[in-house]
Amino acid sequence: MSQSSPPPNGFGTCEVTGEILPADSLVKFQGKLVGPKGKQILLERLQSGEPTDTTVLQRPSFWRRFGCIFVDGLVLMVPSLITEFIFGTVAAAGISNPHATSFFAFSHGMLFAGIGNLILFVINAAYFGILHGAYGQTLGKRAGREKVVRLDGSPVDMRTGILRGVYYAMPSAILAVGLFTTTIQIFPIFYLLSLLWWLADIICLIADTRMQRALHDRLAGTRVILLPPK
């Protein structure tokens, strides 16, 4: 935690974490006075090729972010199409003909559509969450030299990566819940909520001109940085 007042005698401030630590536990590393945790953060940044000074961490452009998401979308296209084909066919048969057989057929179709959306949610959350938690990068981000890090520039852990993936894929989960109600009068409310979540994600990304954090970044405590060319 950063302090506005100078530390007491015999103590110093880690220039990476902001912690107040005993002076004899601080060392000079990469031009910074750091404690054990701060030194580990700087070492991890060096190993990953990131700048060791968080003030020079660069954010990617909006179009670079969009391009990386597009590449990830191509990667996820095959499992998404398979899921849509399996569950969408059954769902369409029931939803498009609510009076052809019975109300049961209609609700059965909505239920299958909900299962399909829930599976898509799990696929997306797992893909983005696990890869970000393990490497800080998806295939798209690796292609675009982007990386997900904490606000101080340190690598994210698996828990943070999974949370970020869940927040990113949340619109699919909201749609699934709405479809599970099997009530056509209630479903539009959930559809609107999923749309609003998606719009809020985009608006936060565009509005944050300094760090370009989307809604899922704000909720997970992360940011996306641009790695220097190798």
Taking only the tens place, the pLDDT of each residue in 56-83 is 567 888 889 999 999 999 999 999 889 8
Pick 182 or 139 by higher pLDDT: 139
Please tell me which of 27-31, 139-143, 226-230 the model is most confident about, judged by mean pLDDT.
139-143
Query: Which of 27-31, 160-164, 194-198 comes out lowest in average pLDDT?
Result: 27-31
Torsion angle of the four alpha carbons 9, 41, 149, 18, in this order, in degrees rounded to the nearest 10: 0
The yes-or-no verdict on residue 156 having pLDDT over 90 is: yes
174 shares its domain with 206: yes
Pick 104 or 111 by higher pLDDT: 111
Quote the pLDDT of residue 68.
95
Report yes or no: 71 and 143 within 8 Å, Cβ to Cβ: yes
42 shares its domain with 147: no
CA nearest neighbour of 67 among 145, 124, 122, 130:
145
Mean pLDDT of the chain: 83
170 shares its domain with 69: yes
Neighbours of 226 (CB within 10 A): 17
- Predicted structure pTM score: 0.71
Radius of gyration (C-alpha) of the chain in whole angstroms: 23
16 shares its domain with 98: no
182: Cβ contacts below 8 Å, ≥ 6 apart:
106, 107, 110, 111
Query: Which of 23-32, 91-100, 166-175 comes out lowest in average pLDDT?
Result: 91-100
What would the mean pLDDT of 33-37 be, rounded to a whole number? 86
4 part of a folded domain:
no
32 shares its domain with 87: no
25 shares its domain with 84: no
Which structural domain range is residue 174 located in? 55-226
What would the mean pLDDT of 152-162 be, rounded to a whole number? 90
Quote the pLDDT of residue 145.
93
